Amino acid sequence: MTGAAEGIGLSITKHLLEQGARVVINDINADALNEVVGVLDNKYPGNVGFTAGDASKLEVIDELIATAMHSFGTVDFAVANAGITLFGNFYEFSPENFDRVMHVNLKGAFFLTQRIAKALRKENKGGSVILMSSNVGILSYPNLTAYSMTKAALSMMARSLVLELAPYNITINAIAPGATVTKRTRTQEPDYEQAWASIIPRGKTAVPEDIAKSCLFLLSKDAEHINGETLVIDGGWSVIGQYPKN
């Protein structure tokens, strides 16, 4: 599980642990990760492993999987949740920012999937991979071209890799959250929740638990015949595609 020190990633981790899973988590913020691991290990002793670092780097991905194998002796699934959002005018967007978005959102997810698939294939018992896409990969959004490209690519990655993974009984799907209230979104925009709730057909924004519960379903036996799909979780926003006035 990458990008798991807060928000959606942390919520998925907690729900997995509640269901009895053993989880190795990663985040680039080592201090936040250490704090989270301390709390989780208190509640679920022996069921939490961790490795800090940039999830777009191959050595960090390899360490993450090695930690899982060393700590728990096996792997069953991976959730490529780490990602960054960089707003920017298309005409002014820098090569440095472009590379950063592509590396974290795409390279990290691609090679985490490759590495976990190799491990699952070696164990010959099947498994599941979840990629964290976005509804912004489905509909355009102002000043997010590079980001939206990566999220659309993750959905296509899930579809394409069915051909590579299905022979080994490995499923792969993507989740596309919409506006979700987290510490980060509240910090970036104090009225984030109210602004988005006003234009979402359901009348409310998502919370991390909404995404986590859907992720658990896709990782469960109940979803074993779902493969190559993208599950949109946005309260119906992508049906109409309106934007907050601010």
Query: Catalytic site residues?
Result: 133-134, 147, 151
Check if the beta carbon of residue 203 is closer than 8 Å to that of residue 195: no
Check if the beta carbon of residue 174 is closer than 8 Å to that of residue 115: no
Structure tokens at 124: 């010959």
Listed residue (199, 99, 93) closest to 144, CA to CA: 93
Helices (H), strands (E): how many in the chain?
10, 6
Tell how far CA 203 is from the center of its chain. Answer: 24
**Neighbouring residues of 230: CB distance < 8 A, sequence distance ≥ 6:** 133, 138, 155, 158, 173, 174, 175, 176
SS3 39: helix
Listed residue (50, 76, 80, 81) closest to 64, CA to CA: 50
Listed residue (25, 13, 145, 27) closest to 83, CA to CA: 27
Check if the beta carbon of residue 217 is closer than 8 Å to that of residue 164: no
